[in-house]
Structure 1
Amino acid sequence: MLLLNASYEPLTTVSLRRAILLVLREKADVVHGDAAGSVLRSTTNMLPVPSVIRLRRYVRVPYRRRVPLTRAALMRRDNHHCAYCGRRAETIDHVIPRSRGGGHLWENCVASCKQCNHRKADRLLDELGWTLNVTPRVPRGVSWRLINGAEHGDPQWEPYISHIAA
């Protein structure tokens, strides 16, 4: 679910549970319902499943120049594939190990399968003769900066995020 500020600026994406709680606690209003027209029912209430909700009060959000490095975002960036062998990734690896001065930065972190991560340990790629299948970069674009790299945005979100510069 896309969460908008009171000024209709996109803030982030939230889970269905969080969206429903915000609406039920009267902190947000449903702007667009689910495209399928789904409805949540309880013994006393009926609520359309939201696709876009808007906060009732304005929330000041500091501008972030860089996308925050999280495990979920890194896995999305690397498409859940190991940067060394291409298999399904389950862990994060630092290309230059932190024990050797490497930082916890987008440019130094890649998704990795457990086997490659274990075999690499705290060694450099040159020591193993390995190469990276991808070059680790900072993600760019509206979806990364504002909505946490949501993989599949709802078409109903387009009017709210199309005007924002990447």
Structure 2
Amino acid sequence: MSGVIVLNTDNTALHTVTVPHAIRMLIRQVAIIEEALEDRQIGPYPVPLVLRLVRYVKTAFLYARTPAWSKRGVLRRDHHTCAYCGERGHTIDHLVPQSRGGRNTWLNTVCACEPCNRRKADRTPAQAGMPLRALPRIPGWREVSTRT
């Protein structure tokens, strides 16, 4: 079993938790069992498959803004693939170099491998003759989240 599904009071899925975490939620009375394995028990509780929260949890604030820029986020967004050659990348390259005023933003940074990053140096991709394989974009929360 991969986990216990936790539903909001409006029956929208929020996330999954482990069985021990689900039992703690039941003990604290923050959730009730929606679906369980009837033939298996943990103490007085049947082993839960789906829980529903007792109180509504607002989640819109989590997704209202775009994720903050981070090197780790850029690497995840680009799947650790160099934007220039397609090899495995471990560094961040600025399309408009920092020496020319380029900033750490989602649309100005891409994942790059060491050789491509050195070859491009402090030039733009057009000046270096290195076209991008894909344009940078602002990722969604799920792409850069550490809980995926």
TM-based fold match above 0.5 = yes
Inter-partner Cα distance in structure 1 for 2:32 and 2:86: 43
- 1:6-155 counterparts in 2 under 5 A? 6-11=9-14, 19-20=17-18, 22-26=21-25, 27=30, 47=47, 54-61=52-59, 62=61, 63-71=63-71, 73-139=73-139, 144-145=140-141, 148-149=142-143
Provide structure 2 residue ranges, at least 5 long, that are not aligned to the other structure: none
Provide structure 1 residue ranges, at least 5 long, that are not aligned to the other structure: 151-166
Q: Which has the higher contact order (CA 8 A, sep 6+)?
A: 1
Inter-partner Cα distance in structure 2 for 1:8 and 1:121: 52
Structure 1 contact 23–29 (Cα < 8 Å) conserved = no
Structure 2 contact 6–13 (Cα < 8 Å) conserved = yes
Inter-partner Cα distance in structure 2 for 1:99 and 1:32: 58
Aligned residues: CA RMSD: 4.1
The TM-score, its normalising length taken from structure 1, stands at 0.53
Structure 2 contact 106–136 (Cα < 8 Å) conserved = yes
CA gap 1:23/1:87 in 2 versus in 1, 3 angstroms: same
* Number of aligned residue pairs: 131
Larger radius of gyration: 2
> What SS does the corresponding residue of 2:116 show, helix, strand or coil?
helix
Inter-partner Cα distance in structure 2 for 1:137 and 1:53: 36
Q: Percent identity?
A: 38
